[in-house]
Structure 1
């Protein structure tokens, strides 16, 4: 009868051989060896030595304990805790980040959610115990404590963890798929720069930032004096702030009146701000034809950039997005526009194009979104068409009563 194959992550019989007997001034030497089966099925033959048979055997067991962790670190089953599966899923996500397939920002958000939300609420459950009810209750608890936005991310993370468990045999189905959808409250009225506000806002923004330039900030004043151009950059393209801040001189063609948006800025741990390919959400780049009123600014910025960042920090590096948005917040509060923030510029572009009668598909092309997203986030509620209302006047013949 054939000998049974060694199970992955385990070893066979340990054999100990004495290599040298004890002599004056020299200890005895024993060598222990065994066959260990790795995760890929290959056999390794680790060895370890010691001054006695027991010492050699213990040294080998220590070495094989490390091999066992290496061989079975990704092997999970129905008894594996959710906390461990979460760490394995995060490790898989990190590899995708390293390969450029996922955003570092998403990784940092998911790591924080696993640490502060998933593990405290679900971490000690075995995979077999992680039911639809368990996930549903955890996500609802996050909704109640932190709101819909965090709850949606929590559901995404839980689904990723459960999906990993399914792929590796610890679960048969993904229970998160059956969890009740997270309802996002209505966003309310879309906030934009109204037509009557736009000229006044730009003038006050320019004056405020020019005064900052005359202060004692020195070269650091550039962080403020560049804000009007950054605002115009967003208003002339409809781009997100991280996409506009990622523009380099070579992306600008003043002759053809175009600006290319095909990168975005992301903060990477240990590196700072990094210019990443594609737009936010790994969407393809756009070649934007900009309005003539913005061309002088883009031309000037191209010449000043030398081919590098068009909106650099005071020391020539990429700007931190959070710092720029905070400065816009400060300016808007100080000049009498507390309802305006940097993301409102993109909303203003989408809403203005809609109110000018631009088809939703064209607006979607401009913003790099789908028509459904434009309808949901950039299109205001409208009054019924007046022509329709006029037609309804003839619903009853003249002279007939309506009561």
Structure 2
């Protein structure tokens, strides 16, 4: 039985000999040789030389790698590490961002998953060592450590890098394709829009909150409800895109703040996002009131305090504060007490949030009296702050009284995206098709609109009327 042939693009054992000696008989040149199976199927002898045995062997390995790159059609080989492929894949991603086929948000999400979750466990693995069990184990570890959403993003990153390796001949198949869907996590919440009474209460809260008035949230909400556009798209509209004669607005751009970059006005997320929308009369009236004399057509419709484009992150924070208005005097007293305890512990809000295991924004909301806090959470805070017993008892007593619900607590679920879902639900109730609503929202797929944006009640209310016809059969 003949010897099993080498796989294409690989080499066998390396043998090294002395090829020259100096006048004293000391070896000063070495020759290393191996057999390399080329991509035409023929096995050929490949030599290399060096001043030392180690140098000769290293030079031979370099020659073999160059042979693979030159004849294999790609810059990656089975001997290359995952990190090398990740660098090439990320460079291609940056090119796609530059030409507008990928968003900066996608880049930032993939960059975070790659740097923080994928490379720490895979960077030293060679492409020839990858297998389905290995990739499956890694993705499950990421899911356990960082959660389902991060695991899904990490899976996409791993798949992208390994697919590039397949295309360049370093792998025969992409093992990620053999792995099942990532299950688990919280079930998707049913889409929810604001009901009529909730909309009235929301606008009342905005009109009575000094910070909300300063942040211009009333008009921004009106525009988002009247058009169904995203918050970034809202902040990206300039006056020349508003047509008062036809009551239309052109949506072409959005405001984003990419990682390690400043505020930017870029194209919408997709081609479907570029659209011209008809506005209701009450939305047009709001815009007419804002269009004062002296406004330039290139100015944003909803500017910041300096007249430039607003930061979406800051605007979202304003919405979070508005949905949790400053509560009763007791809540404000409690907030001041918590702030004093934190400062006595010499902790910043960020440090406190890390120790407690919550968002920094929540610590800020608690200290400003803008959120309802349970006694158990207060006690956990005081434990972290190492608050003395006497002071602790005083704060807990105030917390018990301040935890009573107020009307505004019912609005704590609202985010800027809730207005978009409200628009979709209102249009659905009016009998518009999923395709029409998807066009309004800028979705390429109506299925996404139906599943994630329309807050349905009875899925088929007309069914009950149809079924009334068989009532006589029950007698």
Query: The TM-score by the shorter chain falls in which range?
Result: 0.7 to 0.9
Q: Does 1:350 align with 2:447?
A: no
Find the counterpart in structure 1 of residue 152 from structure 2.
152
Find the counterpart in structure 1 of residue 117 from structure 2.
117
The alpha-carbon distance between structure 1 residues 95 and 384, as it changes in their structure 2 partners (threshold 3 A), is closer
Secondary structure of the 1:361 match is helix
Secondary structure of the 1:212 match is helix
Find the counterpart in structure 2 of residue 274 from structure 1.
264
Q: What stretches of structure 2 of length at least 5 have no aligned partner? A: 1-50, 52-61, 327-407
Secondary structure of the 2:276 match is strand
Q: Does 1:79 align with 2:73?
A: no
Find the counterpart in structure 1 of residue 323 from structure 2.
332
Normalised to the residue count of structure 1, the TM-score between the two structures is 0.73
Q: 2:307 aligns with which of 293, 301, 316?
A: 316
Q: Deviations over 1:83-126 (max 9, x none)?
A: 22111211121122223332222222222211111112222211
The alpha-carbon distance between structure 1 residues 140 and 212, as it changes in their structure 2 partners (threshold 3 A), is same
Q: Deviations over 1:103-150 (max 9, x none)?
A: 222222222211111112222211111222222222222222222221
* Contact persistence 2:192–2:453 (CA under 8 A): no
Measure, in 2, the Cα distance between the counterparts of 1:98 and 1:156.
Answer: 20
Q: Does 1:126 align with 2:126?
A: yes
Find the counterpart in structure 2 of residue 169 from structure 1.
169
* Contact persistence 2:256–2:264 (CA under 8 A): yes
Find the counterpart in structure 2 of residue 294 from structure 1.
283
Q: Deviations over 1:25-80 (max 9, x none)?
A: xxxxxxxxxxxxxxxxxxxxxxxxxxxxx9xxxxxxxxxx9xx99xx898210111
Measure, in 1, the Cα distance between the counterparts of 2:279 and 2:474.
Answer: 55
Measure, in 1, the Cα distance between the counterparts of 2:117 and 2:106.
Answer: 16
Q: Deviations over 1:218-269 (max 9, x none)?
A: xxxx8x3312111111111100101111001111011110111111122235
CA positional deviation for 1:323: 1.1
Q: What stretches of structure 1 of length at least 5 have no aligned partner? A: 1-53, 55-64, 214-221
Find the counterpart in structure 2 of residue 251 from structure 1.
241
* Contact persistence 2:237–2:251 (CA under 8 A): yes
Q: 1:380 aligns with which of 455, 459, 468?
A: 455
* Contact persistence 1:249–1:301 (CA under 8 A): no
Normalised to the residue count of structure 2, the TM-score between the two structures is 0.62
Find the counterpart in structure 1 of residue 340 from structure 2.
none
* Contact persistence 2:316–2:416 (CA under 8 A): yes
Measure, in 1, the Cα distance between the counterparts of 2:117 and 2:426.
Answer: 40
Any residues of structure 2 matched to 1:381-396 within 5 Å, and which? 381-383=456-458, 385=460, 387-395=462-470
Q: Does 1:363 align with 2:437?
A: yes
Measure, in 2, the Cα distance between the counterparts of 1:89 and 1:273.
Answer: 26
Secondary structure of the 2:250 match is strand
Q: Deviations over 1:169-211 (max 9, x none)?
A: 2112222122211236431232221111112211221221xx2
CA positional deviation for 1:283: 3.5
What is the number of equivalent residue pairs in this alignment?
321
Measure, in 2, the Cα distance between the counterparts of 1:98 and 1:394.
Answer: 61
CA positional deviation for 1:272: 0.9
Measure, in 1, the Cα distance between the counterparts of 2:151 and 2:219.
Answer: 36
The alpha-carbon distance between structure 1 residues 180 and 399, as it changes in their structure 2 partners (threshold 3 A), is closer
Find the counterpart in structure 2 of residue 201 from structure 1.
202
What RMSD in Å do the two structures reach over aligned CA positions? Answer: 2.7
* Contact persistence 1:252–1:302 (CA under 8 A): no
